[in-house]
Amino acid sequence: MSATIHSIEAILVDIPTIRPHKLSMTTMGVQSMVIVRIKDSEGLEGLGEATTIGGLSYGPESPESIKLTIDTYFKPQLIGQLADNINTLRVMLERSTRGNRLAKSAIETALWDLYGKRTGRSLSALLGGAVHSHLPVLWTLASGDTTQDIHEALGFIETRRHCDFKLKIGSRALMEDIRHVAAIKEAVGDTASVRVDVNQAWDESTAAKGMAELQAAGIDLVEQPTPMADLASLVRLSEKFHLPILADEAVANAKDLYHLAALGFSGAVAMKIAKAGGPLRALEQAAVASAAGIGLYGGTLLEGTIGTTAALHAWSTCEKLHWGTEMFGPLLMKDDIVIQPLNFHNNGVDLPTGPGLGIEIDEEKLAFYRRKD
């Protein structure tokens, strides 16, 4: 008989960032995450993570609400269930609880990690096998200071840690943002790809003007320029410009992407295991994108190493990642809570080997950064 779920713990963890991280809706100085630990009746443990951006400034789930959901609603349903029945448990939570995709993703990740440890297989192997053992990773330049961002970018190019960069814009006047972006693109030249993330800050007319300027400046990609619910504007803008659009907040799962593609959208999609509700749902979205001719991009909610590693295992199974990944979350934080951090080098990151996620908790670091009641 398979092992059953014996205990579930959801832990709030706060780790300072290496510098203020400026987005259109907030500026982050600390990243807060929920670490999930699921133990089975034979003593094995699976790890998961749910992380959002800036508390409730980004979406409807906060670290505190995620912990509450897991403790109050998920835990009573899961205790005593067969730990290996991941699809059964996933469907059960989907039927009993609306939304709460970040919390569900953390639970699913922990179950996969547990199953991988039980069978001695990596998460990527359980998902069909890795096509890539080293994945490209861009860096977000988000200090808001042009000179500092240029210095940061040139340093990473020289050390070959990153050769693709994303700029967070949308909180300032349009032309001020354009000048900031154009100066950075001019400084790095053809040695690096420069993209922008507007985080829904523009209306359609502003986006049209902004995209024309960005296209002229040599920018490669514009992420979510208009509000998430305004799918028609994304379609019209994608038809008007040869500068590709990356749909992010507008697309959470495969069904959302199907609707956007059916409207005529061409461009790319930012997959995120958290907003999809787990690795399986994220890969369903990848399948729809591939069928519709929409490019793939491995997105992040600035997760720590646990959540980042889960996403890397999923992205590694995709045949082609047209725009690479942005799985740099652990690099944004001053410290880590795992024993062996991810290996970032050669403009990307190595996929961890070993059973499950292939990582282990550093108990002392976890205790230090754990939020005190």
Nearest Cα neighbor of 292 from 333, 347, 255 is 255
Q: Are 300 and 102 in contact (CB under 8 A)?
A: no
Q: Are 265 and 239 in contact (CB under 8 A)?
A: no
Classified as helix, coil or strand, 102 is helix
DSSP H/E element including 105: helix 101-119
- Calpha distance 169→161 (Å, rounded): 23
Residues 6+ apart with CB under 8 A from 309: 342, 352, 357, 358, 359
Half-sphere exposure of 339 (CA within 13 A, CB side): 8
Work out the number of other CB atoms within 10 angstroms of the CB of residue 323. 25
Q: Rg of the chain's alpha carbons, rounded to an integer?
A: 20
Catalytic residues: 168, 326
The 3 state secondary structure assigned to 141-169 is ECCCCHHHHHHHHHHHHHHCCCCEEEEEC
Residues 6+ apart with CB under 8 A from 258: 288, 292
